[in-house]
Amino acid sequence: ETGVTQSPTHLIKTRGQQVTLRCSSQSGHNTVSWYQQALGQGPQFIFQYYREEENGRGNFPPRFSGLQFPNYSSELNVNALELDDSALYLCASSSQGDEQYFGPGTRLTVT
Amino acid sequence: GQQLNQSPQSMFIQEGEDVSMNCTSSSIFNTWLWYKQDPGEGPVLLIALYKAGELTSNGRLTAQFGITRKDSFLNISASIPSDVGIYFCAGPGGGAGGTSYGKLTFGQGTILTVHP
């Protein structure tokens, strides 16, 4: 059984640029959620995708957007990057329950 | 919005000691989850609790779902160096819209250091 994978591992971007992060869900899981984890904090829910549609959103602006594909993999897109967007971005997959299984994350640095 | 408060914020213990940490919520939760995160990694699910009063073990770890449904506790017995990490509690309900499943709110974490 393959766990959740994310790419890239690390990324450095400049303020104002756009970034796309990718996630492959765990085998058998049809729901993908994205979280932002700032240094020293717990993860914060960004949004969730189920059946290729957004299924709930946390307190994040519209410049955070996402996609889910028919194979349940997902992308997180962030436009107009700000310095405060520097964080570990975590993808988690599940099969319609509360138990979320996380990937290793993508460390984004905005300079 | 919902908030989870974990205590203590950090713990420094000797190998072999038992550890207790807790998590309290401003609102009722129907599920409590405990995760461990190592540096540079994603959180790993340790224990899931689904019923008030439930006591669940996973090896040396034991977690309880408080009867008020506003708190949960995690105990680690006979700690070992690999227990080092950040422990998070989490519960569903962190977002608006859609179904309630899996939109987790996390506490701020308890940092555990184990001295050999």
Mark the ranges of chain B whose per-residue pLDDT is less than 70. Answer: 1-2, 94-101
Check residue A95 and give its pLDDT: 86
Mean pLDDT of A62-69: 97
Cis peptide before A61 (omega within 30 of 0): no
Q: Report d(CA B10, CA B24) in Å as an integer.
A: 16
Query: Is the pLDDT at A82 greater than 60, yes or no?
Result: yes
Selected for mutation to probe chain B from A30, A31, A48, A98 (highest B CB count within 10 Å) is A98
CA atoms within 13 A on the CB side of B59: 8
What are the phi and psi torsion angles at A4 (to 5°)? Answer: -75, 130
Mean residue pLDDT across chain A: 95
Contact criterion met (CB below 8 Å) for B4 and B25: yes
Please give the residue of chain B at the shortest CA–CA distance from A90. Answer: B42
Bigger pLDDT: A38 vs B100:
A38
Taking Cα atoms as reference points, which of A68, A3, A82 lies closest to residue A36?
Answer: A82
What is the per-residue burial (b if ≥16 Cβ within 10 Å, else e) of A25-56?
bbeebebbbbbbbeeeebbbbbbbbbeeebbb
Q: Report d(CA B108, CA B111) in Å as an integer.
A: 10
Q: Is A43 on the interface with B (CB under 8 A)?
A: yes
Residues of chain A with Cβ-Cβ distance to B88 below 8 Å are: 42-43
Contact criterion met (CB below 8 Å) for A35 and A47: no
What are the phi and psi torsion angles at A29 (to 5°)? Answer: -100, 135
Query: Is the pLDDT at A8 greater than 60, yes or no?
Result: yes
Please give the residue of chain B at the shortest CA–CA distance from A54. Answer: B98
Q: Is A74 on the interface with B (CB under 8 A)?
A: no
Check residue B26 and give its pLDDT: 87
Check residue A65 and give its pLDDT: 97
Check residue B40 and give its pLDDT: 87
Shortest Cα distance, chain A CAs vs residue B30, angstroms: 10
Taking Cα atoms as reference points, which of B7, B2, B3 lies closest to residue B87?
Answer: B7
What is the per-residue burial (b if ≥16 Cβ within 10 Å, else e) of B60-79?
ebbbbbbeebbbbbbbbeeb
Q: What is the CA radius of gyration of chain A?
A: 13
What are the phi and psi torsion angles at A39 (to 5°)? Answer: -60, 130
